[in-house]
Amino acid sequence: MSKTIEIAVCGAHMSGLPLNHQLVMLNASFVKATSTARGYRLFDVPQKLPPRPGMIRDAKSESSLTLEVWSMPLENFGAFMIQIASPLCIGSVILEDESIVYGFLCESDYLEGAKEITEYGGWREYLASK
């Protein structure tokens, strides 16, 4: 059994962004920058500070999104989970190489009326456009 868990982050937890310290403080280490497989959409989650995106799986979408994969000691995962506020959650994310890791997703009901930002290809790209 592995003593680590890989976590895909697609927003404020990425390197250099406001919530990255939550990963670092729990001894997570950067694995790689990559993308999802096709079939994901991204939204700017309203009224969240710091700002962050919400990613959902949508098999009809032709888009893939940039993200980072981090490796965290398994015993620290619970401490990480209690910091994740609704509507964000952890689920299975399919990467461009078809591997599956745990990662941030968003409860779709909370995205009604939210700005879709899929066209930018990722959170960093969206932030750079503002």
Here the CATH number for the domain that contains residue 26 is 3.10.490.10
Backbone angles phi, psi at 20, to 5 degrees: -60, -30
Task: Say what the pLDDT of residue 62 is.
Answer: 97
Q: Decide if 28 is inside a domain.
A: yes
DSSP labels for 17-75?
A: STTHHHHHHTT-EEEEEEEBPS-EEEEE-TT-SS--EEEEE-TT-----EEEEEEEEGG
Kindly state the tokens that stand for 111: 């995205």
| Domain total in the chain | 1
Q: Decide if 46 is inside a domain.
A: yes
Residue 130 — pLDDT band, cuts 50, 70, 90? confident
Q: Decide if 128 is inside a domain.
A: no
Give per-residue pLDDT as tens, 52-87: 999 999 999 999 999 999 999 999 999 999 999 889
Q: Decide if 130 is inside a domain.
A: no
Range of the domain at 32: 4-123
Distance CA 129, CA 56 (A): 21
Give per-residue pLDDT as tens, 31-41: 999 999 999 99
Task: Say what the pLDDT of residue 20 is.
Answer: 97
Q: Decide if 129 is inside a domain.
A: no
Report field, pTM of the whole predicted structure over 0.85: yes
